[in-house]
A = this chain, B = another copy of it.
């Protein structure tokens, strides 16, 4: 059987076409975002939408909750869909909702999106107060139930503190190193090293604003960046979190950036002149292009075992260690 292939972040405009492309790309598991700004009830509606997808396409997808579900997906030729939040908004101000959400299958939660949350600070704030009083309580509760802390959009100090406070390794599901492309969302050497030293995982993003050269980034440049990260923090900490937002209308990226928090328009990583979703690089347009990544990694000198680890093996090991929770 081929090595496991996992994409640890997508937020597409879901369709049967995309689920078929996941199969064409050989994806055994995909972590999908089910909340950007949604509160508890709104996120439940998103779960309901997913339940309808699972009901319509049982031969292609099913809801994943454990590492065992990735194995089941491989055995049955389907893709296991794991839920996650890019913002703690689905738990609102209620720590009891962490366990409720774990019961509904949420496996990842960012402690903040771009702004300050009740738990931590986002990378777009001017000042970073680190993990708040509620944040410490929520981290302990996430550790207890087996929900992974994701700091992809969080500010540096908050991220370092989360790594320190959490009794479980954390994830940066979708970001790239700042040494390769300076973006607020990409991560400093300090964060990458702390992540690697603590057994955490970095998922490389294919979202153009996170790529050196944007939409024009070359696959070789990308693969060489992965190799530098492997030298820095070890192959075992690396995976893919493509941040693929396939087929989404531009209104969706406006919603991601603005939610309900501002009356003026925030352009995030874009600009008034380029407010929409950026164009994907031509070597990573959709789920069918994961083979291109594997080939490029081989091309910069990774051996087969290393390529397999980065393309899914590392995430699978991390899932095994993380989703157990309460014994």
Q: Mark A117-142, 1 if CB is under 8 A from B, else 0.
A: 11101001111111011110100010
Query: Does A128 contact B129, Cβ atoms closer than 8 Å?
Result: yes
A262 to B121 alpha-carbon distance, docked (Å):
19
Taking chain A's interface residues, is the majority helix, strand, or loop, or is none over half, making it mixed? Answer: loop
- Establish whether residues B125 and A121, one from each chain, have CB atoms under 8 Å apart when the complex forms: no
Is A55 at the interface (CB under 8 A from chain B)? no
Please classify how large the interface on chain A is, using the bins under 10, 10 to 19, 20 to 34, 35 or more.
Answer: 20 to 34
Q: Is A259 an interface position by the 8 A CB rule?
A: yes
Residue of B nearest to A262 (CB): B137
Chain B residues closer than 8 Å to A92, beta-carbon distance: 39, 92, 260
**Which residues 38-67 in A have Cβ within 8 Å of B in the complex?**
39
A118 to B112, CA, bound (A): 10
Q: Which residue of B lies closest to A41 (CB)?
A: B41
The contact of A93 among B124, B259, B264, by CB within 8 Å, is B259
Chain B contacts for A261, CB-based, 8 A: 93-95, 118, 133-134, 137
Which residues of A does B touch, CB under 8 Å?
37, 39, 89, 92-96, 115-119, 121, 124-130, 132-135, 137, 141, 259-264, 266
List residues of chain B with CB within 8 A of the CB of A125. 129, 132-133
B133 and A124 contacting across the interface, CB-CB below 8 Å: yes
Shortest Cβ distance from residue A49 to the other chain B in the assembled complex, whole angstroms: 21
Output the nearest chain B residue to A134 by Cβ-Cβ distance: B261
Q: List 10 tightest A-B contacts by C-beta distance, closest first.
A: A129-B129, A116-B132, A94-B260, A127-B129, A134-B261, A137-B262, A115-B133, A93-B260, A127-B130, A115-B134
User: In the complex, how many angstroms separate the beta carbon of A96 from the nearest chain B beta carbon?
Assistant: 7
Q: List B contacts of A119 (CB < 8 A).
A: 116
The 11 sampled A-B contact pairs (Cβ below 8 Å) are: A37-B93, A95-B261, A96-B260, A96-B263, A115-B133, A116-B116, A116-B118, A116-B119, A116-B129, A124-B133, A125-B133
